[in-house]
Amino acid sequence: MRHFIIVKWNDKEAMKAKTAQIDALFQKTTEIPGVHAVEIHPSCSDRANRYDLMIEITMDEEALPAYDACEPHHMWKAQYGGEIAHKVIFDCE
């Protein structure tokens, strides 16, 4: 399955500099059995009605509970949750 986290930052310019840190944090999730790959997609648009960052995690569906409970996921919420204006979570095959 593919698990997407799509965010709109409160301050896009301030958060651009943190993209590499976010990528490094999510790359740690590939250590979870069943998590295969992580890709970070910053937006290429500066339009106000667009989201700013998409995180794509490719995993086995059975790995989702382990991902939800993992330290990088909790660190993501603790470190960056307050910076998020809007968030969308989407899973698909």
82 pLDDT above the threshold of 90: yes
**Which residue range is the domain that position 77 belongs to?**
2-92
49: exposed, middle or buried (Cβ count in 10 Å: 0-12, 13-18, 19+): exposed
Q: What is the pLDDT of residues 40-58, one digit of tens each?
A: 999 999 899 999 999 999 9
Q: What total number of domains does the chain contain?
A: 1
pTM of the model: 0.94
The total of other beta-carbon atoms located within 10 Å of residue 11's CB is 10
**Number of neighbours of residue 16 by Cβ within 10 angstroms:** 14
| Domain harbouring 29, CATH code | 3.30.70.100
Cα–Cα distance between 9 and 55 in angstroms, integer? 13
- To the nearest 10 degrees (0 to 180), the angle between helices 71-80 and 19-27 is 160
Percent of the chain with pLDDT strictly greater than 70: 100
